[in-house]
């Protein structure tokens, strides 16, 4: 039993909050705190009446002072950060000041660069250790479940893992010519950046969308997928024994890519502020304002996601392949919690990470990525809380 404070009340938080309420044996109390309090109140109204006690608050998570006051007022056992990556460090600072455990799903990014690096948060390792509190980084699906899958594969199936290919397929169709499935600003920053993969201890950089492969995904069918940089490549490259190469691929349809190319060509995806009618605006933030809100895609999205990792390594001196993946249906998620599968596949592991930190199973003073903990309780919880995993010992490999 424990009390969690959830910061942010967007697509991912909405799912995590539903799941905390379903899991009232672990979460007997939650506080939902975000920039727009009305969104928190709306969710409270929908979910209250169950066993989990819900309260709400307004907070600007860019302000350490406001966060510290809020945490001191409510005294949660864990803070689950589901705001945006820009708020990671202020929330970590507030957790340090109040000695409260911290969990997030995306690594810190300064507003003016799109680098997806852990260095800023890893710099907090000693501070968290000295304070005797745990920071669990990247407890979503990717990063998150992909790291848990890697730790599980290494624990149960390999002596060493040499190659990992992470495949993220969204076979969903929302019927719009162009929309993003999670925060458009973060999503477009991620896909318009250069690609890269980790090989023999160093990064190999590619142009955006330079490397394309086709893969036949169970539950979805054949899809084009493209190599992207993704934040878990950095931590898995360091934490998984024997790794020689790790790559990340995500599927994109032709329409999405054509629109994105056009938006890039006219400068709409830039994060450089421009002068507009006497005011400074960031083109990408303006674009976000005119695109469909990801939270509104739920009722319209049909189809499935299939996300997982293909491992190649050695067991008892022999080469072995192993594929761990989850298939999730957009409409089933919508019926259960009112969101599409991209928010669902992130919100469920966020709840699980917060639960494991809160109940002590994954507590260790310091700052850690998910693959640094015992994967078994997390894998069990995935099956229980809506993201059952499947395995294959003879997967098709990616060239």
Residues making contact with ligand NDP (CB under 6 A): 8-13, 34-36, 39, 59-62, 82-85, 87, 105-106, 140-144, 182-183, 186, 294-295, 346
Minimum CB distance to ligand NDP smaller for 12 or for 358? 12
| Cα angle 318, 323, 324; round to 5 | 130
Q: Is 27 within 8 Å of 4 (Cβ atoms)?
A: yes
Cβ(143)–Cβ(226) under 8 Å?
no
Backbone angles phi, psi at 245, to 5 degrees: -150, 140
Minimal distance in Å, beta carbon 258 to ligand NDP?
23
Residue with smaller CB distance to ligand NDP, 40 or 312: 40
Which residue, 90 or 134, is less far from ligand NDP as judged by CB?
90
Q: Least Å distance between CB 289 and ligand NDP?
A: 11
CB of 154 to ligand NDP, least distance (A): 20
Nearer to ligand NDP, 169 or 312 (CB): 169
Name the maximum alpha-carbon separation found in the chain.
67
Give whichever of 258 and 285 is closer to ligand NDP, judged by the CB atom.
Answer: 285
Crossing angle of the two packed helices 376-384 and 145-156, in degrees rounded to 10 = 120
Closest-CB residue for ligand NDP? 10
CB of 81 to ligand NDP, least distance (A): 8
The least distance separating ligand NDP from the CB of residue 200, rounded to whole angstroms, comes to: 26
CB nearer ligand NDP, residue 179 or residue 312:
179
Closest CA to 230 of 163, 152, 165, 310: 165
User: Least distance in Å: CB of 87 to ligand NDP?
Assistant: 5
Output Rg (C-alpha) for the chain, integer angstroms: 20
> What DSSP state is assigned to residue 361?
T
Q: How far is the CB of 208 from ligand NDP (least distance, A)?
A: 18
Q: Smaller CB distance to ligand NDP: residue 312 or 343? A: 343
Contacts of 20-23 with CB under 8 Å at 24 or more apart are 20/52, 20/351, 20/354, 21/47, 21/50, 21/52, 21/54, 22/385, 23/351, 23/355, 23/385
Please, which residues have CB within 8 angstroms of residue 316's CB and are 6 or more apart in sequence?
A: 159
Residue 63 CA, chain-centre distance (Å), reads 23
């Amino acid at each position: 039993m424990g009390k969690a404070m959830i910061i942010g009340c967007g697509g991912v938080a909405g799912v995590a909050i539903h799941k905390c309420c379903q899991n009232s044996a672990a979460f007997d109390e939650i506080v939902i705190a975000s920039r727009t309090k009305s969104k928190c109140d709306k969710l409270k109204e929908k979910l209250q009446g169950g066993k989990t006690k819900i309260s709400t608050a307004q907070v600007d998570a860019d302000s350490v002072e406001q966060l510290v006051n809020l945490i001191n007022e409510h005294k949660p056992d864990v803070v689950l950060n589901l705001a945006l990556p820009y708020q990671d460090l202020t929330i970590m600072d507030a957790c340090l000041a109040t000695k409260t455990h911290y969990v997030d799903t995306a690594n810190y990014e300064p507003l003016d660069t799109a680098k997806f690096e852990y260095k800023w948060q890893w710099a907090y390792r000693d501070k968290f250790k000295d304070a005797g509190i745990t920071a669990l980084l990247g407890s979503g699906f990717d990063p998150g479940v992909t790291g848990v899958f890697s730790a599980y594969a290494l624990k149960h199936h390999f002596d060493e893992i040499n190659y990992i290919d992470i495949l993220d397929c969204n076979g969903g169709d929302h019927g719009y010519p162009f929309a993003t499935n999670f925060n458009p600003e973060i999503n477009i920053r991620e896909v318009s950046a250069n690609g890269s993969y980790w090989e023999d201890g160093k990064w190999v950089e590619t142009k955006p969308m330079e490397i394309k492969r086709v893969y036949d995904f169970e539950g979805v069918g054949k899809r084009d997928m493209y190599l992207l940089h993704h934040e878990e490549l950095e931590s898995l490259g360091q934490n998984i024994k024997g790794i020689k190469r790790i790559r990340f691929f995500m599927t994109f349809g032709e329409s999405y890519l054509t629109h994105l190319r056009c938006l890039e060509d006219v400068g709409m995806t830039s994060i450089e502020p421009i002068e507009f009618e006497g005011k400074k605006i960031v083109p990408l933030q303006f674009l976000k304002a005119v695109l469909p809100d990801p939270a509104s895609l739920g009722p319209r999205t049909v189809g499935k996601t299939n996300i997982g990792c293909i491992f190649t390594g050695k067991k008892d001196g022999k080469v072995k392949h192993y594929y761990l993946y989850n298939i999730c249906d957009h409409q089933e998620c919508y019926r259960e919690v009112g969101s599409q599968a991209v928010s669902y596949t992130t919100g469920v592991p966020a709840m699980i990470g917060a639960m494991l930190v809160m109940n002590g199973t994954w507590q260790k003073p310091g700052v850690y990525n998910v693959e640094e903990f015992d994967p078994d309780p997390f894998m069990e919880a995935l099956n229980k809380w809506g993201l059952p995993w499947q395995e294959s010992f003879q997967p098709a490999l990616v060239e």
